[in-house]
Amino acid sequence: MAQAFDPSLPGEITIAANLYLAVESFEAQAVFDWLIDNPDTRIEGWDLAERLEFDEHKQVGIAMHEIGEKAALLDRKRPWLEGQLGYLMPMDQGALFRSAREKAQREMENQG
């Protein structure tokens, strides 16, 4: 069973960076970055689609699905909360993924 990302675990930043690197589509990357950059901010899918200038609201759902699938491949749950009132990345998850994004970007620069 998939477990939640736990910022207190050693090596968790590497797993989070691997998730960040695994996201392939532009839309999923944009959604993920928005959640990382706006922790503890609840947002509905239509509002997020509008802010990211997506053509259709469903692109947010497809992006969320992609990120969730990639997380599951790493035996992790989605790093955000979702419900009738929208999506929200908790502050601790946002901090973990900000660090993970920086790690992933350094790794990409070293490869390129």
Identify the domain containing residue 96 by its residue range: 25-111
Is 108 within 8 Å of 46 (Cβ atoms)? Answer: no
Is 88 within 8 Å of 81 (Cβ atoms)? Answer: yes
Residue 112 has pLDDT above 80, yes or no: no
| d(C-alpha 98, C-alpha 33), whole Å | 9
SS3 (DSSP) at 2: coil
Give the model confidence (pLDDT) of 1-15 as tens digits. 899 999 999 999 999
pTM above 0.85, yes or no: yes
Q: What is the mean pLDDT of the chain?
A: 96
SS3 (DSSP) at 3: strand
Q: Residue 64 falls within a domain, yes or no? A: yes
Count structural domains, the chain: 1
Q: Please classify residue 112 by burial: count the beta carbons closer than 10 Å to its beta carbon, then call 0-12 exposed, 13-18 middle and 19+ buried.
A: exposed
Give the model confidence (pLDDT) of 28-61 as tens digits. 999 999 999 999 999 999 999 999 999 999 999 9
Is 7 within 8 Å of 96 (Cβ atoms)? Answer: yes
CATH of the domain at 99: 1.10.10.10
SS3 (DSSP) at 24: coil
